[in-house]
Every structure is written in structure tokens, then in C-alpha cells.
A and B are shown apart, each in its own frame.
Chain A
Amino acid sequence: MTTTDSPPDAKPGRLKPPTRRRNHGDTERGFSRVFRWITTGSGAFLLLVLAAVAVFLIARGLPALTASPEELSGKGGLPTGMNSLWDLVGPLVFGTLLAAAMALLLATPVAIGIALFISHYAPRRAASVIGYVIDLLAAIPSVVFGLWGGRTLAPIISDVWVWIAGVLDFLPFWTVNVTNTGRSLATASVVLAVMVLPIITAVSREVFLQTPTLHEEAALALGATRWEMIRTAVLPFGRSGVISAAMLGLGRALGETMAVLMILSPGILYSFQIFDSGQQQTIAAFIASRFAEASGLAVNVLIATGLALFVITMVVNMGARAIVARRKEFSGAN
């Protein structure tokens, strides 16, 4: 290729050049250099896309942020009775966080259970079958979850919600309302939980499998039962991994659109009535339901709510990173 590729026997007496070449970065020649550019380009491209999205959201959302209350309720298509953007974005952010938090609350314990079963309890063959099924669950499109949740799950699960509301009836200061259709945030959260289950399970399983065998055997040698071994060796080791898994799931739950759109009877309120209809709405589903008919300033309003979702997702992810980084020292991973 080049002159440096000349046969070694041409300069028999010198031994140093190879090392020096490496010191000067000469391992990068030919395609190796091109490949370096490709990977650098890919990394830069990712940042570029993110920046482009951020710029788009800010630029197109700005007219809604600066518009007067009259314009917003007129052309901006704010629901009647609202006169500032925050009246709309606030309840939407609330609904989005509530739905995602409930989904996570339901999904994480189950996901840890499945992951532990696969990594520590199941016979090898059963473990691989279950792992396969979990991956399959991740491949189901969200619109299918939406159809299933709206048409099959909601009518069935509504009986459960009615029962729970009846049990909670003793609360003196709070009446629990419940809808007979099952199209409530509670149902939407259950479906969201099913959707984030695969992602949390898959990551947790990988982390649990990496528990040093020495730790586990040490625990067993000290007379621990298998549950005690998991509690003292596996869970502390996997904690940061499980947290980042949950945060990945949270990211999906925050942005999920179709399933919520097809299941929930929305309303734009700050409300903890999770079994009733017409109470909450998530940002993503709100945008999807309104965008088709929106024009002019109404589009800017929708994009401004999208900006809010973008910020929330970023904050959540940064928070997750911070937690993981802080826990790393205690996890025993190093």
C-alpha cells in the first residue's frame, strides 16, 4: 500500500520504529482512519439531530409562549375557560407524570421478579423461553396495545376499579369516582406498565446475571438461603442497573402516545381521580389528538406542549444518570 509496508527484512538492524510509529498514532492508516471519521460523524450526527429537534421545538413553540391570553384562547385553540398556556401545560405535565409514575410503580416490581426468576430460579430452558417471550412483548406495536387495552382490557378491568372504589369508600374526606367504561388513567397505566415491562426486565436480567459468582457463593457458604443470598448479594449489586432500567422504561412511558390515545377518556384537570374518566391527559396523546385539526397558533401551542415533554424527558434522564453515578460506588460493581 504505502512505503511503510515494505518487507521487514529491508531494515533488519532497527527494532524501535514500530513502537515509535504507534506513539505517533500511526495505527490509523488506510481504512482505519476513514472508520474513525465515520464513527465520529455518527456521534456528531446524533448531537445534530437532538439540537435540530430542540431548535425546532423552541422556534415553533415560541409564538405560543409569547402570545397574549386573548390570542391563545381565540386562535390558539385553548379549551374554554383557560387563558394562559400554563393552564394547559400544567395539567398535561401532571397527567403525563402521574401516568408514567403509576406505570413504573406497577411494572418495576414485576420486572425485577421476572428478571430474578430468569437469572436465578428458572431451569435454563425455561429461562430462555421466558426471555424470548419478554423480547416478543417488546416487539408488539403500541397501536396493538392500544386496541387491546381499549376494546378488551378496559371493559374487563373496569369491574376491578369499581370494586376498589367501593373498598376505598370509607375514606371520609375523599370520594373515589369510577367510570363504568374503564377508560381511566388507571387502565392506561396498566397497559403502559405492560409496555415498559420488557425493557426493565431485559436490562435487570443482564445486570443480575453479572453478579460476581464469588459474592453469591460467599453468601451461600455463610448459610444464607437463596432469598437471603439474592437480598444480600444480587440486589445490592444490581441496584444501579435496575434504576437505570426503570428510567429507560419511564422514558418510554412518558412519550407513549397511541395506547393512551386509544384507552383514555381525557380531561385537562389536576386530579387524582385515577379511576374516573375525563380527568387527566398526557402530553403525547394530547398532541396526537389535536394536531390533525390544528392550524396557525394552535400548532404552536401544541409544539410548546411538546417542548414541555422534551424538557421533562431530559430532566428525568439526567436525574437517572445522577442516581446511577452516585450509587455506582456502593454497588460493588468495581
Chain B
Amino acid sequence: MKPAENINNLIKKLNLKASTELDQKVHNEISKILAESEKTKSAPSKLNTWRIIMTNKITKLAAAAVIIIAVVFGITVLDKSVTPAYAIEQTISAISSMRYVHTRYFDASHEDVTKECWIEMDDTGQLKNVRINWAEWITGEQIVVWNKDKTEMWNPKRNRLSVFNDKIYTARILQMANKANPRLYVERLHERQSKGEVKIEVEEPSNKSEPIVVTSTGLGENINRYVLFVDQATKLVTHLEWYQSEDDVYKYQGVTEFFDYNVPIDAKMFTLYDEIPTDAQIDDAKTHDIGLEQGDLTDKEMAVKVVQEFIESLIAKDYTRVGLICGGIPPGKVEKGWGRFNVVRLVSIGEPVPSSKVNKVYPKTVNVSCTFEFEKDGRIIQKLHYFYVGTVIGNRQNWTIYGEGRDTKSQEEFDRRTKKEEVKK
């Protein structure tokens, strides 16, 4: 049997040439379109008038004289008045009054939009409102809207809207929003250019309908490459592509599109209450307590306590408390899931281990193993289970279980990833 890659290779090597007849037919179509667009651009009556004027001998002489004067004048003033070339400062100036922007990020690994972002800034240029819609493959089409007083996070898979005000989460959202902010990009680029940290190459096409292409290549440790496309008329950035250097080759990573500069965004875009289904669960951290309070316990002690109370509440069939420990899940839902296990005894709880899922939003996440017994058909069965335990977004004094499963990634893997992220930064 031939290996599958042989089929792949063979298929990739299929190669038919388009016939000259096809070439001719398509090029004719293109010529037709070009001719039509030329027609719409030019005004025939003006052309005719121009031709009549230019056939006159006196006019011809006058035109020649004008051309000579223009050339002489052009040569004399050439040294003094060279058309200014594009400089980043022009974009910084054009972008400085930006209040609204809409962006879309496409990751190289997917064809659909990865992340869509709407940003509103105040008069001082500070972020006022942010909305981020993620693709299904990243966070299950999660939507987050943020302002300085509160964050609304919609999770369609859980049919749940979480409302909170959390410093750590805010920092994360602001970091993402700043990545989508073209002004910060160009300012940072300018700063790095003045420090000699990047090499900037500018291609400014003579055709004004084409974009200025600004390529920035890092010279220091951060050798990534960014390519900005700048509209010649407005000097605003329309696209930003980024490339990562791997083995001396710049690999395309993704592109951000910037559009609707200063087009006011409807205030409704920055609140999710009107968008979510009427039966959605709404958890407001201000009014709804989630998780268990840490008090004087250490992080490890607290993680163990959360798992212990979870199992004990299951034994007591106190599904309200189980729901509270599990991030605020309604008791009915808990009973549907965990109620089928008639948990009878907690056997042991393992030592909490740092989880590879630790990130800026869940900085203290640990993975805790637990062995318990449940009864089924008159038999007692022992089960080893793993939980992800961490602090509650919006109330970091409380701890909660927010996931199940064994964290199979080793500590080394976790360290490697953290180091890589630091290098990226």
C-alpha cells in the first residue's frame, strides 16, 4: 500500500496548462473592462475641445513655450522643493485624532476572522469602550465588552453572561485592545526606529491609488517583521501584517485590518444585555457570590479546601453549594451532571500542581487530583478525578473549580511556553 503522503505529493504535482484560447478569451474580457473603466474616467466632450484647441498653430507654440518655462522653472527649484517622501510622523499625525476604529485580525492558521474588535477612545486618547468578538476555534465565540467600570463576558456555550470588574482581566483586555490600536503601533514603531531597534523600509508607489508599504524589521532580540499598508491619501494604516523569523525565514503569522476610522460606534455595541438569549444565566459579581473565600489559607491549602468541600457537598447532595464552588452553576444543572454519581466517600486529595493553563487571567491555577468513591447498582466504585482550581474573576479573594481533567502537560512544557511568551513580548 502506498503511504498517504505519496498520494498528497502526486496530487500536488498535477499540472495542466491553460490553453492559449482561454488566455485570449479572459484577456479580452479584462480588456473590455479596462476600456469601460477608461470611458467612465474620461469626458469625451472635454477631449474633443482639447483636440480642437491643440490643432491650432498658435496654441501649439504657446503650449511649447509653457512647457519650456515649466521645465526651466522645475530645474531651478528642484533642489529647494523636492516632494516630501512619506514618514511615519505623517501617520502619527493623521491618526492622533482617532476616536473610533474597527479592526479584524486573521490568523495565518485559519481563513475566517480570528478576532474582531471595536474601540472607542475618549478625548485624551484613553480607551473608553472595547468590544472583542472571538472566533469559535479560540474561545467558542466568546464576546467581551469592557469599560473602566465593568466587563461583560458572554459565553454562548454555557449560555452565560458574567459581569465583573477585575483588575487582572482588565489588564488583559487592555493589552488586547492596544494590540488592535493602530495609533499605538505606529507610535511604538516610531519610538523603536529612533532607538535604532528596527530597520524601516518604505515603498511609496507613484500611483496614488496604491498603498505605501512600510516594512519594519527588528534588529535586536525581537527580530519579527511588521508590514504596514498606509493609504496614500489619508496616511492611515489599513493593514498590518506580521511575520515571525524562523530559521532565517520570515513566516507569515497574520494580518490585522483597520477600518471605519472615526466612524462613531453605536453604544449598543458596548453592552451585551440586549444581545443574549432571554434564558441566559447572568452572573454579576457585585450581586452574586461565587467560590469560597481564601481567608488566611495559603494558595495550596485553599485549592485543597475547594476540592474537599466540593466532594463533601456532593456527598451531602447540597447542589446549591456545589454550584457555588463550581463558578456559580445553577443547582439544577449541577444535579443533572454530578447527581448521577452517588458520591459516598472522599478517599484522598493529591498535592496541587501548577497548571499549564496558568495565564494572565488565571494566574494561580492549579491541577488537583482527588480520589472518591461512588455507589452504582449496589457496588462501590473508586474514581480518580482531576480539577482545575483557581481564583474567581471579579473577586480574587475567592477560589473556584472552573474545569475538570488531568493537566497532562509537564512542568517543563509549561516553563518552555512561559519563556517563549516572554521572548515574544
A binds B: no
Taking Cβ atoms with an 8 Å cutoff, the residues of B that contact A are: none
Taking Cβ atoms with an 8 Å cutoff, the residues of A that contact B are: none
